[in-house]
Amino acid sequence: MSALADLINLDLSDSTEKIIAEYIWIGGSGLDMRSKARTLPGPVKDPSELPKWNYDGSSTGQAPGEDSEVILYPQAIFKDPFRRGNNILVMCDAYTPAGEPIPTNKRHAAAKIFSDPSVAAEETWYGIEQEYTLLQKDIKWPVGWPVGGFPGPQGPYYCGVGADKAFGRDIVDSHYKACLYAGINVSGTNGEVMPGQWEFQVGPTVGIAAADQVWVARYILERVTELAGVVLSLDPKPIPGDWNGAGAHTNYNTKSMREDGGYEVIKKAIEKLGLRHKEHISAYGEGNERRLTGKHETADINTFLWGVANRGASIRVGRDTEQAGKGYFEDRRPASNMDPYTVTSMIAETTILWKP
């Protein structure tokens, strides 16, 4: 095994200028991640320098067998924490050979919103809190939980320390460092309320880059859990009953909200979000009705309410924002399996472009 590890960790720069680029895309479910690697003649700094590529869309649920070719357009580059050196991860979106975005390509529509001059002028900032659950591979039961049984009630696990409270910290820390190496703006991580559940935060990051970074952070987490032999779940309510669900709370502000008088801008934005509550809920992730019950730090899925420091609200405003008269707010409705392209662009569209 040591010889295999030596080969895996070979530094290609000692013998060649060539690099390996791992092209990443989103599969047919809208949540599964796919990737494949290709050799490039030398280091690359910008996505525009990268060639387009193709894949068999009939094997990912994204094209029929008789016309299966789907084209990958490179959109963002990250350092590869697995191969290291000059090797890279490439976040792509997918198009037909005619250049039309395929139905599961949510990035294309998001890019249109973020390139709108009114949105670009507001320099939208996002901080996304990605919660997830680690499952034992063979039985799909949370790590640290007894087989066929349950741990003690929630309470000691949130930000907990100790072998009987924190399950999977080696995976969490490996992922954290790998993301920072890759160039993802991960701002922190913590154990969550349900044992075996964790969270990492991406941001503050501007515009569509926030969604690119969350997707690549998810990809890296999938790769880390693959190495560890555990299964990553983004199900918003992986265990029924008196256990917290998993969300992707999305913190947000604009240039106007960050400036003096921004609190009034925030309140107007929240009012607009309330008017489009149903539209947002329908786009905020599958199975969210199992999570947004009005319990376990959520508002009921059919109710829109906001409040200062209220974790049982749809939208939470921090005490510091209220006191400063400017700042940000947190949309607590998105599920852990939400599409970051859809959620970030929809919040920008509703709060900046949409006219009631």
Number of Cβ atoms within 10 Å of the Cβ of 255: 13
Contact indicator for 301, 247 with CB cutoff of 8 Å? no
Q: Return d(Cα 84, Cα 354) in angstroms, integer.
A: 43
Q: What pLDDT sits at residue 1?
A: 56
Which pLDDT value is given to residue 265?
Answer: 97
Q: What is the mean pLDDT of residues 205-219?
A: 98
Supply the pLDDT for residue 73. Answer: 98
> Averaged over 169-192, what is the pLDDT?
98
Q: How much is the average pLDDT of 222-238?
A: 97
Domain boundaries along the sequence of the chain: 1-104, 117-353
What span, in angstroms and rounded, lies between the C-alpha atoms of 3 and 284?
46
Q: How many Å apart are CA 147 and CA 36, to the nearest integer?
A: 35
Tell me, what's the pLDDT at 2?
Answer: 81
Q: What digits encode the pLDDT tens for the residues 87-143? A: 999 999 999 999 999 999 999 999 999 999 999 999 999 999 999 999 999 999 999
pLDDT in tens, 298-349: 899 999 999 998 878 999 999 999 999 999 999 999 999 999 999 999 999 9
Domain 1-104 fold is Ubiquitin-like (UB roll) (3.10.20)
Judge if 1-104 and 117-353 fold alike in CATH terms: no
Please list, in sequence order, all residues whose beta carbon lies within 8 angstroms of the beta carbon of residue 56, skipping any fewer than 6 positions away. Answer: 63, 68, 69, 70
Contact between 335 and 288 under an 8 Å Cβ cutoff? The reply is yes
In the block, which residue shows the tokens 């070979």? 10
Q: Percent of the chain scored above 70 by pLDDT?
A: 100
| Angstrom distance (rounded) from CA 88 to CA 104 | 24
CATH code: domain 117-353 is: 3.30.590.10
| pLDDT above 80: residue 183 | yes
* pLDDT of the residue at 36: 98
Q: Pairing state of beta strands 315-317 and 329-331?
A: antiparallel
pTM of the model: 0.96
Pick the range with the lowest mean pLDDT from 64-68, 120-124, 144-148: 64-68
Residue 316: what pLDDT?
A: 96
Average pLDDT over all residues of the chain: 96
> What tens digit of pLDDT does each residue of 4-32 get?
888 888 888 889 999 999 999 999 999 99
